[in-house]
Structure 1
Amino acid sequence: MSAPANTPWSNVYQLSSFLGQLEAEGGISVRALVDELDVDLPVDGIAYHDRGIRVPGYDATFVHEPTGSRGRPAFSVQIDAVGPRNTWAIFDNTLSWDVYLLRAEGVAALAWVSDEEYRIEEADQFSSKREALAAGRFSFGVFLYAGDAWREQVQQIQRTNAPAYLLREDGQPIVPGSQSEFYELVDSTVTEFRTSGAAPDYLGLLELEVTIDG
Protein backbone atom coordinates (compact mmCIF):
# COMPACT_ATOMS: atom_id res chain seq x y z
CA MET A 1 0.00 0.00 0.00
CA SER A 2 2.68 2.51 -0.85
CA ALA A 3 3.61 5.16 -3.33
CA PRO A 4 7.12 4.72 -4.69
CA ALA A 5 9.79 5.52 -2.12
CA ASN A 6 7.00 6.32 0.36
CA THR A 7 6.91 9.94 -0.77
CA PRO A 8 6.15 12.20 2.22
CA TRP A 9 3.25 14.51 1.34
CA SER A 10 3.24 17.91 3.03
CA ASN A 11 -0.34 18.73 2.02
CA VAL A 12 -3.14 16.15 2.34
CA TYR A 13 -6.55 17.54 1.37
CA GLN A 14 -9.63 15.33 1.53
CA LEU A 15 -12.10 15.73 -1.33
CA SER A 16 -15.04 14.88 0.90
CA SER A 17 -17.76 15.53 -1.70
CA PHE A 18 -16.01 13.81 -4.61
CA LEU A 19 -17.90 10.50 -4.72
CA GLY A 20 -21.24 12.23 -4.25
CA GLN A 21 -20.38 14.58 -7.10
CA LEU A 22 -19.33 11.60 -9.22
CA GLU A 23 -22.68 9.88 -8.65
CA ALA A 24 -24.55 13.07 -9.53
CA GLU A 25 -22.54 13.88 -12.66
CA GLY A 26 -21.78 10.36 -13.88
CA GLY A 27 -18.16 11.11 -14.76
CA ILE A 28 -15.35 13.47 -13.73
CA SER A 29 -12.02 13.88 -15.50
CA VAL A 30 -8.95 14.49 -13.38
CA ARG A 31 -7.85 17.53 -15.33
CA ALA A 32 -11.32 19.09 -15.08
CA LEU A 33 -11.36 18.34 -11.36
CA VAL A 34 -8.06 20.13 -10.83
CA ASP A 35 -9.45 23.14 -12.72
CA GLU A 36 -12.55 23.13 -10.49
CA LEU A 37 -10.45 23.06 -7.34
CA ASP A 38 -8.87 26.36 -8.36
CA VAL A 39 -5.39 25.36 -7.19
CA ASP A 40 -2.11 26.44 -8.71
CA LEU A 41 -1.36 23.04 -10.18
CA PRO A 42 -0.43 22.81 -13.88
CA VAL A 43 -1.24 19.42 -15.42
CA ASP A 44 0.03 18.32 -18.84
CA GLY A 45 -0.55 14.62 -18.21
CA ILE A 46 -1.01 11.93 -15.60
CA ALA A 47 0.16 8.46 -14.64
CA TYR A 48 -2.19 5.88 -13.18
CA HIS A 49 -0.64 4.20 -10.13
CA ASP A 50 -1.72 0.73 -9.06
CA ARG A 51 0.51 -0.86 -6.42
CA GLY A 52 3.66 0.21 -8.26
CA ILE A 53 2.30 -0.22 -11.79
CA ARG A 54 2.44 3.05 -13.73
CA VAL A 55 0.59 3.92 -16.94
CA PRO A 56 1.18 7.43 -18.34
CA GLY A 57 -1.84 9.07 -19.94
CA TYR A 58 -3.18 12.39 -21.12
CA ASP A 59 -6.08 12.28 -18.64
CA ALA A 60 -8.00 9.94 -16.36
CA THR A 61 -11.76 9.87 -15.92
CA PHE A 62 -13.68 8.59 -12.92
CA VAL A 63 -17.01 7.02 -13.93
CA HIS A 64 -19.98 6.13 -11.72
CA GLU A 65 -21.00 2.54 -12.50
CA PRO A 66 -24.58 2.14 -11.20
CA THR A 67 -24.91 -1.42 -12.50
CA GLY A 68 -21.55 -2.23 -11.00
CA SER A 69 -19.36 -5.26 -11.54
CA ARG A 70 -20.37 -8.78 -10.61
CA GLY A 71 -23.52 -7.41 -9.00
CA ARG A 72 -21.80 -4.76 -6.88
CA PRO A 73 -22.17 -0.98 -7.23
CA ALA A 74 -18.86 0.36 -8.47
CA PHE A 75 -16.86 3.24 -9.82
CA SER A 76 -14.19 2.99 -12.48
CA VAL A 77 -11.09 4.92 -13.47
CA GLN A 78 -10.45 5.02 -17.21
CA ILE A 79 -7.09 6.17 -18.54
CA ASP A 80 -6.53 8.02 -21.82
CA ALA A 81 -3.17 6.30 -22.09
CA VAL A 82 -0.18 7.23 -24.21
CA GLY A 83 -0.03 5.04 -27.31
CA PRO A 84 -2.20 1.99 -28.07
CA ARG A 85 -2.60 1.07 -24.40
CA ASN A 86 -5.81 0.01 -22.70
CA THR A 87 -6.04 0.82 -19.01
CA TRP A 88 -9.02 0.91 -16.69
CA ALA A 89 -9.87 -0.28 -13.20
CA ILE A 90 -13.18 -0.98 -11.45
CA PHE A 91 -13.59 -0.53 -7.70
CA ASP A 92 -16.17 -1.90 -5.26
CA ASN A 93 -18.38 0.98 -4.18
CA THR A 94 -19.96 -1.02 -1.37
CA LEU A 95 -16.79 -0.22 0.57
CA SER A 96 -16.29 3.16 2.21
CA TRP A 97 -13.78 5.25 0.24
CA ASP A 98 -12.04 8.57 0.77
CA VAL A 99 -10.41 10.56 -2.02
CA TYR A 100 -7.52 12.96 -1.40
CA LEU A 101 -5.44 15.51 -3.25
CA LEU A 102 -1.83 15.10 -2.15
CA ARG A 103 0.86 17.70 -2.72
CA ALA A 104 4.55 18.03 -1.99
CA GLU A 105 7.33 20.05 -3.55
CA GLY A 106 7.37 19.26 -7.27
CA VAL A 107 4.77 16.47 -7.14
CA ALA A 108 1.01 16.01 -6.75
CA ALA A 109 -1.44 13.12 -6.90
CA LEU A 110 -5.01 12.05 -6.34
CA ALA A 111 -5.33 8.97 -4.15
CA TRP A 112 -8.33 6.92 -3.03
CA VAL A 113 -8.23 4.56 -0.07
CA SER A 114 -10.93 2.36 1.44
CA ASP A 115 -11.57 2.04 5.16
CA GLU A 116 -10.86 -1.69 4.83
CA GLU A 117 -7.42 -1.12 3.30
CA TYR A 118 -6.50 1.32 6.05
CA ARG A 119 -7.81 -0.97 8.80
CA ILE A 120 -6.00 -4.08 7.59
CA GLU A 121 -2.71 -2.60 6.35
CA GLU A 122 -2.08 0.66 8.19
CA ALA A 123 -4.12 1.11 11.37
CA ASP A 124 -1.49 -0.56 13.55
CA GLN A 125 1.13 1.97 12.44
CA PHE A 126 -0.85 5.14 11.77
CA SER A 127 -3.54 6.73 13.93
CA SER A 128 -5.58 7.97 10.95
CA LYS A 129 -6.00 7.45 7.24
CA ARG A 130 -4.77 11.00 6.67
CA GLU A 131 -1.55 10.24 8.56
CA ALA A 132 -1.00 7.10 6.49
CA LEU A 133 -1.50 9.02 3.26
CA ALA A 134 0.88 11.76 4.39
CA ALA A 135 3.50 9.02 4.71
CA GLY A 136 2.82 7.90 1.14
CA ARG A 137 0.84 4.81 2.06
CA PHE A 138 -1.74 4.16 -0.65
CA SER A 139 -2.27 1.54 -3.34
CA PHE A 140 -4.19 3.50 -5.99
CA GLY A 141 -3.70 6.97 -7.36
CA VAL A 142 -3.26 9.28 -10.31
CA PHE A 143 -0.01 11.23 -10.33
CA LEU A 144 -0.07 14.66 -11.99
CA TYR A 145 2.74 15.89 -14.24
CA ALA A 146 3.67 19.03 -16.16
CA GLY A 147 6.57 20.29 -18.25
CA ASP A 148 9.77 18.26 -18.34
CA ALA A 149 8.43 15.70 -15.86
CA TRP A 150 5.53 14.91 -18.20
CA ARG A 151 7.78 14.74 -21.26
CA GLU A 152 9.96 12.25 -19.39
CA GLN A 153 6.91 10.07 -18.71
CA VAL A 154 5.95 10.09 -22.39
CA GLN A 155 9.45 9.32 -23.61
CA GLN A 156 9.85 6.48 -21.13
CA ILE A 157 6.64 4.67 -22.12
CA GLN A 158 7.14 5.29 -25.85
CA ARG A 159 10.43 3.40 -25.73
CA THR A 160 8.68 0.12 -24.92
CA ASN A 161 5.99 -2.19 -26.25
CA ALA A 162 4.84 -2.97 -22.71
CA PRO A 163 1.46 -1.74 -21.46
CA ALA A 164 3.02 -0.12 -18.37
CA TYR A 165 6.20 0.26 -16.41
CA LEU A 166 6.89 -0.49 -12.75
CA LEU A 167 8.32 1.71 -10.04
CA ARG A 168 10.40 0.13 -7.30
CA GLU A 169 10.22 1.18 -3.65
CA ASP A 170 13.38 3.25 -4.15
CA GLY A 171 11.69 5.19 -6.96
CA GLN A 172 13.68 3.61 -9.79
CA PRO A 173 11.65 2.52 -12.85
CA ILE A 174 11.61 -0.98 -14.30
CA VAL A 175 10.60 -0.83 -17.96
CA PRO A 176 9.69 -4.23 -19.43
CA GLY A 177 10.08 -4.67 -23.17
CA SER A 178 6.77 -6.36 -23.91
CA GLN A 179 3.38 -7.26 -22.49
CA SER A 180 4.49 -10.80 -21.70
CA GLU A 181 7.55 -9.51 -19.82
CA PHE A 182 5.34 -7.10 -17.87
CA TYR A 183 3.07 -9.92 -16.69
CA GLU A 184 6.07 -12.04 -15.76
CA LEU A 185 7.35 -9.20 -13.58
CA VAL A 186 4.01 -8.74 -11.80
CA ASP A 187 3.56 -12.53 -11.54
CA SER A 188 0.06 -12.46 -12.96
CA THR A 189 -1.94 -12.76 -16.19
CA VAL A 190 -4.30 -10.64 -18.26
CA THR A 191 -7.16 -12.93 -17.20
CA GLU A 192 -6.35 -12.67 -13.51
CA PHE A 193 -6.23 -8.87 -13.75
CA ARG A 194 -9.59 -8.82 -15.55
CA THR A 195 -11.35 -11.15 -13.12
CA SER A 196 -9.99 -10.02 -9.75
CA GLY A 197 -7.44 -7.27 -10.25
CA ALA A 198 -4.95 -9.78 -8.78
CA ALA A 199 -5.76 -8.12 -5.46
CA PRO A 200 -7.14 -9.19 -2.07
CA ASP A 201 -10.81 -8.37 -1.54
CA TYR A 202 -10.15 -5.69 1.07
CA LEU A 203 -8.40 -3.48 -1.50
CA GLY A 204 -11.74 -3.15 -3.30
CA LEU A 205 -10.32 -3.68 -6.79
CA LEU A 206 -12.75 -5.76 -8.84
CA GLU A 207 -11.26 -5.63 -12.34
CA LEU A 208 -8.10 -4.26 -13.93
CA GLU A 209 -7.16 -3.91 -17.58
CA VAL A 210 -3.52 -3.22 -18.46
CA THR A 211 -2.83 -4.23 -22.06
CA ILE A 212 -1.37 -2.89 -25.31
CA ASP A 213 -2.68 -3.40 -28.84
CA GLY A 214 -0.57 -4.99 -31.53
Structure 2
Amino acid sequence: MPHIAHAADQHQNDGLADEVVLGVDTHKDLHVAAVVTVLGALVDTRSFPTTAAGYRQLWDWARTLGTVRRAGVECTGSYGAALARHLRSESVEVIEVNQPDKATRRRRGKTDVLDAEAAAHAVLAGCATASAKAGDGPVEMIRMFKLAKASAVKARTQSINQLKAVLVGADTGLREALSGLSNTVLIRRCAELDAGTAHDVTTAAA
Protein backbone atom coordinates (compact mmCIF):
# COMPACT_ATOMS: atom_id res chain seq x y z
CA MET A 1 0.00 0.00 0.00
CA PRO A 2 2.75 2.54 0.77
CA HIS A 3 4.13 2.31 -2.76
CA ILE A 4 0.59 2.95 -4.15
CA ALA A 5 0.20 6.05 -1.96
CA HIS A 6 3.63 7.26 -3.05
CA ALA A 7 2.68 6.83 -6.70
CA ALA A 8 -0.52 8.81 -6.16
CA ASP A 9 1.40 11.60 -4.40
CA GLN A 10 3.93 11.66 -7.22
CA HIS A 11 1.16 11.93 -9.82
CA GLN A 12 -0.40 14.83 -7.88
CA ASN A 13 2.95 16.62 -7.61
CA ASP A 14 3.52 16.18 -11.34
CA GLY A 15 0.13 17.82 -11.97
CA LEU A 16 1.05 20.77 -9.75
CA ALA A 17 4.41 21.14 -11.48
CA ASP A 18 2.63 21.27 -14.83
CA GLU A 19 0.06 23.83 -13.68
CA VAL A 20 0.05 27.30 -15.23
CA VAL A 21 -2.16 30.34 -14.68
CA LEU A 22 -3.77 32.31 -17.46
CA GLY A 23 -4.17 36.09 -17.33
CA VAL A 24 -6.17 38.12 -19.85
CA ASP A 25 -6.32 41.84 -20.56
CA THR A 26 -9.66 42.28 -22.33
CA HIS A 27 -10.70 44.80 -24.97
CA LYS A 28 -13.56 45.21 -27.41
CA ASP A 29 -11.91 43.66 -30.46
CA LEU A 30 -8.81 41.95 -29.10
CA HIS A 31 -7.82 40.06 -25.94
CA VAL A 32 -4.20 39.85 -24.84
CA ALA A 33 -3.35 36.70 -22.88
CA ALA A 34 -0.35 35.71 -20.76
CA VAL A 35 0.51 32.38 -19.20
CA VAL A 36 2.73 32.15 -16.11
CA THR A 37 3.97 29.22 -14.04
CA VAL A 38 2.86 28.72 -10.43
CA LEU A 39 6.22 30.25 -9.49
CA GLY A 40 5.35 33.42 -11.42
CA ALA A 41 7.63 33.00 -14.41
CA LEU A 42 6.21 34.23 -17.71
CA VAL A 43 5.81 31.39 -20.22
CA ASP A 44 4.30 33.15 -23.23
CA THR A 45 1.93 35.90 -24.38
CA ARG A 46 -0.32 36.21 -27.40
CA SER A 47 -3.28 38.20 -28.75
CA PHE A 48 -6.59 36.78 -29.95
CA PRO A 49 -9.69 38.25 -31.62
CA THR A 50 -12.87 38.54 -29.55
CA THR A 51 -14.77 35.96 -31.57
CA ALA A 52 -15.92 32.40 -30.90
CA ALA A 53 -13.00 31.15 -32.97
CA GLY A 54 -10.66 33.48 -31.10
CA TYR A 55 -11.77 32.13 -27.72
CA ARG A 56 -11.16 28.57 -28.91
CA GLN A 57 -7.72 29.55 -30.21
CA LEU A 58 -6.85 31.22 -26.90
CA TRP A 59 -7.87 28.13 -24.94
CA ASP A 60 -6.06 25.71 -27.28
CA TRP A 61 -2.90 27.85 -27.06
CA ALA A 62 -3.02 28.15 -23.26
CA ARG A 63 -3.44 24.44 -22.59
CA THR A 64 -0.47 23.56 -24.78
CA LEU A 65 1.66 25.44 -22.24
CA GLY A 66 0.49 23.46 -19.21
CA THR A 67 -2.53 22.52 -17.12
CA VAL A 68 -4.82 25.54 -16.81
CA ARG A 69 -7.11 25.40 -13.78
CA ARG A 70 -7.34 29.12 -13.00
CA ALA A 71 -7.61 32.26 -15.11
CA GLY A 72 -7.57 35.91 -14.10
CA VAL A 73 -9.72 37.94 -16.49
CA GLU A 74 -10.39 41.68 -16.53
CA CYS A 75 -13.90 43.11 -17.07
CA THR A 76 -15.84 39.85 -16.84
CA GLY A 77 -19.05 41.86 -16.78
CA SER A 78 -18.37 43.52 -20.14
CA TYR A 79 -15.48 42.93 -22.57
CA GLY A 80 -14.43 39.71 -20.86
CA ALA A 81 -17.91 38.21 -20.37
CA ALA A 82 -17.96 35.93 -23.41
CA LEU A 83 -14.42 34.70 -22.81
CA ALA A 84 -15.23 33.99 -19.16
CA ARG A 85 -18.20 31.86 -20.23
CA HIS A 86 -16.01 29.94 -22.68
CA LEU A 87 -13.32 29.26 -20.07
CA ARG A 88 -15.90 28.10 -17.51
CA SER A 89 -17.27 25.66 -20.10
CA GLU A 90 -13.75 24.18 -20.13
CA SER A 91 -13.89 23.72 -16.31
CA VAL A 92 -11.51 26.63 -15.66
CA GLU A 93 -12.02 28.69 -12.50
CA VAL A 94 -12.38 32.26 -13.77
CA ILE A 95 -11.43 35.00 -11.32
CA GLU A 96 -12.37 38.66 -11.72
CA VAL A 97 -9.27 40.87 -11.85
CA ASN A 98 -9.43 44.63 -11.40
CA GLN A 99 -7.66 46.79 -13.93
CA PRO A 100 -4.46 48.38 -12.57
CA ASP A 101 -4.95 51.90 -11.27
CA LYS A 102 -3.49 54.83 -13.17
CA ALA A 103 -0.61 55.35 -10.75
CA THR A 104 0.50 51.73 -11.14
CA ARG A 105 0.27 51.95 -14.93
CA ARG A 106 2.35 55.15 -15.02
CA ARG A 107 4.99 53.62 -12.78
CA ARG A 108 5.49 50.45 -14.79
CA GLY A 109 4.39 51.65 -18.23
CA LYS A 110 1.12 50.80 -19.90
CA THR A 111 1.12 47.78 -22.16
CA ASP A 112 -1.59 45.16 -22.66
CA VAL A 113 0.97 42.39 -22.25
CA LEU A 114 1.98 43.69 -18.82
CA ASP A 115 -1.68 43.96 -17.82
CA ALA A 116 -2.34 40.36 -18.89
CA GLU A 117 0.70 39.14 -16.96
CA ALA A 118 -0.38 41.20 -13.94
CA ALA A 119 -3.81 39.54 -14.07
CA ALA A 120 -2.21 36.10 -13.79
CA HIS A 121 0.08 37.26 -10.97
CA ALA A 122 -2.92 38.71 -9.10
CA VAL A 123 -4.46 35.24 -9.07
CA LEU A 124 -1.21 33.63 -7.91
CA ALA A 125 -0.71 36.20 -5.14
CA GLY A 126 -4.29 35.87 -3.93
CA CYS A 127 -4.95 39.56 -4.60
CA ALA A 128 -7.81 38.56 -6.91
CA THR A 129 -10.21 36.06 -5.37
CA ALA A 130 -13.69 37.09 -6.51
CA SER A 131 -15.39 34.66 -8.86
CA ALA A 132 -16.15 36.13 -12.26
CA LYS A 133 -19.69 37.18 -13.01
CA ALA A 134 -21.57 34.24 -14.49
CA GLY A 135 -23.11 36.24 -17.33
CA ASP A 136 -25.40 33.40 -18.37
CA GLY A 137 -28.23 33.27 -15.83
CA PRO A 138 -31.21 35.29 -14.51
CA VAL A 139 -28.96 38.07 -13.20
CA GLU A 140 -27.51 38.67 -16.66
CA MET A 141 -31.00 38.61 -18.19
CA ILE A 142 -32.17 41.27 -15.74
CA ARG A 143 -29.04 43.34 -16.43
CA MET A 144 -29.86 43.34 -20.16
CA PHE A 145 -33.48 44.33 -19.54
CA LYS A 146 -32.36 47.10 -17.18
CA LEU A 147 -29.86 48.35 -19.76
CA ALA A 148 -32.55 48.46 -22.46
CA LYS A 149 -34.97 50.27 -20.14
CA ALA A 150 -32.36 52.83 -19.07
CA SER A 151 -31.54 53.53 -22.73
CA ALA A 152 -35.22 53.93 -23.63
CA VAL A 153 -35.87 56.28 -20.70
CA LYS A 154 -32.84 58.38 -21.62
CA ALA A 155 -33.93 58.60 -25.27
CA ARG A 156 -37.48 59.58 -24.20
CA THR A 157 -36.16 62.35 -21.94
CA GLN A 158 -33.90 63.70 -24.70
CA SER A 159 -36.77 63.69 -27.20
CA ILE A 160 -39.13 65.57 -24.86
CA ASN A 161 -36.44 68.15 -24.08
CA GLN A 162 -35.80 68.62 -27.80
CA LEU A 163 -39.54 69.01 -28.46
CA LYS A 164 -39.88 71.70 -25.79
CA ALA A 165 -36.79 73.48 -27.11
CA VAL A 166 -38.45 73.70 -30.54
CA LEU A 167 -41.65 75.08 -28.98
CA VAL A 168 -39.73 77.84 -27.20
CA GLY A 169 -38.81 79.41 -30.54
CA ALA A 170 -41.96 78.43 -32.42
CA ASP A 171 -44.71 80.73 -33.68
CA THR A 172 -46.75 82.25 -30.86
CA GLY A 173 -50.00 80.58 -31.96
CA LEU A 174 -48.39 77.13 -32.10
CA ARG A 175 -46.57 77.63 -28.82
CA GLU A 176 -49.70 78.77 -26.95
CA ALA A 177 -51.78 75.95 -28.39
CA LEU A 178 -49.33 73.42 -26.97
CA SER A 179 -48.41 75.10 -23.67
CA GLY A 180 -49.45 73.82 -20.26
CA LEU A 181 -49.97 70.25 -21.44
CA SER A 182 -48.65 67.12 -19.80
CA ASN A 183 -45.92 65.30 -21.70
CA THR A 184 -48.30 62.55 -22.76
CA VAL A 185 -50.92 64.97 -24.13
CA LEU A 186 -48.24 67.20 -25.68
CA ILE A 187 -46.75 64.29 -27.63
CA ARG A 188 -50.21 63.20 -28.78
CA ARG A 189 -51.11 66.71 -29.95
CA CYS A 190 -47.81 67.08 -31.78
CA ALA A 191 -48.36 63.76 -33.51
CA GLU A 192 -51.71 65.10 -34.77
CA LEU A 193 -50.21 68.27 -36.27
CA ASP A 194 -50.58 68.63 -40.01
CA ALA A 195 -47.03 69.48 -40.96
CA GLY A 196 -47.60 69.47 -44.71
CA THR A 197 -44.75 71.02 -46.68
CA ALA A 198 -42.35 73.20 -44.70
CA HIS A 199 -42.40 76.64 -46.30
CA ASP A 200 -41.90 78.90 -43.25
CA VAL A 201 -40.75 78.75 -39.63
CA THR A 202 -44.17 77.71 -38.32
CA THR A 203 -44.58 74.74 -40.66
CA ALA A 204 -40.95 73.80 -40.12
CA ALA A 205 -41.55 73.71 -36.35
CA ALA A 206 -44.66 71.57 -36.89
TM-score by length of 1: 0.25
TM-score by length of 2: 0.25
Which has the larger helix fraction?
Answer: 2
Which has the larger strand fraction?
Answer: 1
Answer with 1 or 2: which has the greater Rg.
2
